[in-house]
Amino acid sequence: MKDLFVIKIGGNIIDDDGKLSAFLKAFASITEAKILVHGGGKIATDTGNKLGIESKYIKGRRITDDETIDLVTMVYGGLINKKIVAQLQAESCNAIGLTGTDANIILAKKRAFKEVDFGWVGDIETVDISLLNIFFEKSITPVFAPLTHDGKGNILNTNADTIASSLAVALSKEYKVKLIYCFDKKGVLQNMDDESSVVRFINKKKYAELLTEQKLFAGILPKIENAFAAIDAGVDAVIIGAAENLTENISEQNQGTLITN
C-alpha cells in the first residue's frame, strides 16, 4: 500500500502568520499523498465578537447556535480554508479546499443531547473516500475545514481532531496512513516544563508502563487513547509533535512522539 499522511493543525499555528507560512512550506514539500485538516483559531472568536455573536457555554461546553454555525462556516470554511489553499498553490502544492459537506465526503448526524441542546454539532457517520482517491491519483491535496453536514441541508460543526482520525481510518483501507497531530508541544512530555522530555516512542506495552509509573500528565491521556483507537481501526501510526518539526517528524529523525500498536 502507498503511504499517505493525514496532518492536523490547530489554532496555535493558524493564528500565527509566520508559523503558518513555515508549516505550509514544509507540508507542500511532502511528496507522498497527503491531507491537511485545520481547526479554527482566535480569528473565529474575534470575528464573532465583532459581529456581536456571543460565545455561549453550558456546563463549560460551547453552544453552536444558528449564528455560531454561520460564523464558523464563514471563518473555517471560507477565510481560513481558502487562504491556506491559496498559499499552498503558491508553494506548487495543488490544494483543494473542502468541508465534509462537499461531494458528501463526510456525512454526520446532529448530536442528540440528553439535557441540553448544544446545537449544530455533528458526529461523523460515514466517510466516502472515492473522490479522495481520485484527488490523490491526480496529485491534488485536500484541505479540510472542520465542518460536516447532515444530508438534510444543515452544516454541522465537527471537531478537527475527529475529522482527521475519521479520514485516516477510512483511508487506511487503501493506504498505509500516518496520522499526524501538530500541537503546541514537541510531543508527549514526561515533564510538562521540559520540552526535551519527549517520549519518542509509545506502543501499548510502553503506555501501560508509563501509566503504572505515573509518568504522563492526565491532559495528554485522551490524545493517546484516541491514537490507539485510530491504530486499532487500521491507521499505521500516529505522530504527536510540533508543527515546526513536521519535516523531521515524518522522517527517521522524528522529534515528536511516534505511537504504534
Residue ranges binding a second copy (CB under 8 A): 47, 50-52, 70, 73-79, 81-83, 85-87, 89-90, 94-99, 101-104, 130-131, 134, 138, 140, 147, 149, 151-155
Q: Do residues 35 and 5 lie in contact, with contact meaning Cβ atoms separated by under 8 Å?
A: yes
Smallest separation (angstroms) from a second copy to the CB of 249 = 25
User: In the complex with a second copy, which residue's Cβ is closer, 9 or 227?
Assistant: 9
Smallest separation (angstroms) from a second copy to the CB of 101 = 5
Lookup: cell for 243: 508543527
Q: Which H or E run includes 76? A: none
Q: Do residues 81 and 145 lie in contact, with contact meaning Cβ atoms separated by under 8 Å?
A: yes
Smallest separation (angstroms) from a second copy to the CB of 197 = 37
Q: Which H or E run includes 173? A: none
User: In the complex with a second copy, which residue's Cβ is closer, 105 or 239?
Assistant: 105
- The gap from C-alpha 63 to its chain's centroid, in whole angstroms, comes to 20
User: In the complex with a second copy, which residue's Cβ is closer, 96 or 237?
Assistant: 96
Interatomic CA distance for residues 102 and 228, integer angstroms: 29
Smallest separation (angstroms) from a second copy to the CB of 131 = 7
Residue type, 151: G
User: In the complex with a second copy, which residue's Cβ is closer, 100 or 256?
Assistant: 100
Cβ contacts of 49 within 8 Å, gap of 6 or more: none
Smallest separation (angstroms) from a second copy to the CB of 158 = 13
Residue type, 182: C
Lookup: cell for 248: 523531521
User: In the complex with a second copy, which residue's Cβ is closer, 11 or 256?
Assistant: 11
